[in-house]
Each structure stands twice: as structure tokens, then as C-alpha cells.
Amino acid sequence: MTKPLVVVTGASSGIGAATARLLSAQGHPLLLLARRLERLEALDLPLTLCRKVDVTDRPRVEEAVREAEERFGPTDAIVNNAGAMLLGRVADQPVEEWDRMIDLNIKGVLYGTRAVLPGMLGRRAGTIINVSSIAGRKTFPNHAAYVATKFAVHALSENLREEVAASGVRVVTIAPGAVETELLSHTSSEEIKSDYQAWKESAGGALDPQVVAEAILYAYRQPPNVTVREIVLAATGQEG
Ligand code: NDP
């Protein structure tokens, strides 16, 4: 085994699955985390440990990372990708949806980071790649709670980058516009979902998740003394 371990959260669909396939094709051993274990296993990737882990459960994230490191050696990178976009208006969106996004999109990123960061600091090497969104840079209709979580991902990533830069650890923020994945399907309001779908179509369609996976790989495979701090990418037809 020549390549080091990479952890990918939310690898059971969309951007995470595309990233897992791409990193595996580069020869990396992987730890893949998500709640749908069968979807992780269906990727059928070599040198890959699949674990059914809800990333809001910090001890389970830690446990899975330790298990993977025992098998494959230290974690060289984590892609904190697991996330949910539950669109709604502040006046009437079920508050449970806010709680779910805050726990998953913010705490999930922090928990994944904590599971690998002390080791990276000790080795003075490693890359933390956080999947935020263009919704972490600007607002969109019906996105209030979601943008709050993605602005948080941008903010914590930049703060962390400053904190660990002198220790040789890189922090990368990936900020995609609309990507064709399962993300929208979890929004509970049918009206908001169909408005979003119409907006996506008016922009000429969304990005293929493979494009985002390639952006992640581009950032990761820079020499250790180069940090790609942020990549913002969207379909050309996406105006906002
Ligand atoms: P998907 O819905 O296809 O993928 C989301 C992934 O997150 C799934 O693998 C899902 O797996 C996992 N996940 C959800 N909840 C949990 C949990 N509690 N614990 C562990 N894993 C969980 O959407 P995308 O691929 O689009 O989303 C990936 C990231 O990209 C998200 O952070 C999203 O915000 C971001 N993004 C997406 C954009 C888009 O337009 N699609 C645009 C900009 C950013 P499972 O259900 O099996 O647990």
C-alpha cells in the first residue's frame, strides 16, 4: 500500500460517492461513513472500510476513524461532506429541520475534524476538506437555516486554517453551486422543492457530482506546501 488513508463522510450518494470512487481510483485506502451502509458497500471499492455512522454521533465517528487507522495507517485527509439541505421559511419551517441541519452540517464537520486533527498536528501533515456551498457565501430564497449552517462551515474552516497553517495542516473549503444529487429530495415542502427544481432547470441544469469530486482531488493533490484555500464552482448558467 503506497497511498495514505482518506476518510469521506456522506459517501453513500452524490458528491461523497463520486469522491470516494475517484480517490479509490487513485489508489487510496478509504474509510466511508454514512447511515446507509448498503449504499457504501455497493460502491464495492478495494481497500475500503464502510461503516454505518451518523456523523452527529461523535464517539462513533472517533471509533470508526481509529478502526480504519489501525488497518490502513494514519488519516492523511478527511472530506467532511455529509450534509442536508432542508429548505423552508423561517416563519413556518419545522424547527426540527433546523436542529438536524445544525447538528449535521456544522457539528458533523467539527466532529470529523476533531477525530483526525490531533494526529495530523502530531505528524505536521494532513488535509481537512470541508464541503460547504455557494450558500456559504451568499443567500438564496427559502435557505435561511441552510445558509446559516454553510456560512458556519466557511467561517470555521477559515478560522481552522489560520489555527493550523503553521503546523503543516491544510484546510480547504469546497463551495459548489447546484449539483445533481439527492440533496433537494429531503426538503419537506413540495412547493419549495418544485420552485428550486424550476430554478435549476432555468440555469441549464446543475453540476455533475464528478466535477466536484475532481475539484476536491485537485486541491488534495497539490504539494504539501500549497493550500488551495477555497474552490467555488457552479454551472455556467447559474447566475446567483
Ligand atoms: P446527497 O443527499 O446526495 O448526499 C448527502 C450525503 O450525506 C449522503 O451520503 C448521506 O448519507 C449523508 N448523510 C446525511 N445525513 C447524515 C448523517 N447524519 N450522518 C452521516 N451521513 C449523513 O447530497 P450531496 O452529495 O449534494 O451533498 C453533499 C454535500 O454537498 C453536502 O454537505 C451539501 O450541503 C453540499 N452541497 C451540495 C450541493 C448540491 O446542489 N447538491 C451544492 C453545494 C453544496 P446517508 O443518508 O446514507 O446517511
Q: What atom of ligand 1 comes closest to residue 55's alpha carbon? A: 19
Which superfamily is assigned to 5-228 in CATH? NAD(P)-binding Rossmann-like Domain (3.40.50.720)
Average pLDDT over residues 62-79: 98
Strand 126-131 to strand 75-80: parallel, antiparallel, or no bridges (unpaired)?
Answer: parallel
> Does 172 have pLDDT greater than 60?
yes
Find the residues whose C-beta lies inside 6 A of ligand 1.
9-16, 33-36, 39, 54-56, 81-85, 104, 131, 133, 176, 178-179, 181-183, 206, 209
Q: Which amino acid is at 15?
A: I
Separation CA 80–CA 56 (nearest Å): 12
User: What's the rounded Cα separation, in Å, for the pair 36 and 222?
Assistant: 32
Best mutation site among 36, 38, 183 for ligand 1 pocket (most ligand atoms within 8 Å of CB): 183
Tell me the pLDDT tens digit for each residue of 94-110. 999 999 999 999 999 99
* DSSP label of 231: E
- pTM of the predicted protein model: 0.98
> Which of 45-54's residues contact partners 24+ apart within 8 Å by CB, and which partners?
45/20, 45/21, 47/1, 47/72, 48/20, 48/24
pLDDT at 159 over 60: yes
Cβ neighbour number for residue 204 with a 10 Å cutoff = 10
Nearest atom in ligand 1 to the alpha carbon of residue 54 is: 19
Domain boundaries, the chain: 5-228
Q: What is the pLDDT of residue 97?
A: 98
Those residues with Cβ within 8 angstroms of residue 82's Cβ, 6 or more apart along the chain or in another chain:
9, 10, 16, 33, 34, 55, 104, 108, 112
pLDDT value at position 2?
83
Cβ contact 145:90 at 8 Å: yes
Confidence band for 57, pLDDT divided at 50, 70 and 90: very high
Query: How many angstroms separate the alpha carbon of residue 43 from the centre of ligand 1?
Result: 16
Q: Write down the pLDDT at residue 119.
A: 98
Residues with a catalytic annotation lie at: 146
- Write out pLDDT tens, residues 7-47: 999 999 999 999 999 999 999 999 999 999 999 999 999 99
Say how many Å lie between the CA of residue 237 and the centre of ligand 1: 23
C-alpha of residue 115 to centroid of ligand 1, in Å: 19
Confidence (pLDDT) at 1? 57
Q: Alpha-carbon distance 227 to 97, whole Å?
A: 34
Distance 101 CA to ligand 1 centre (A): 11
Closest-lying ligand 1 atom to the alpha carbon of residue 18: 25
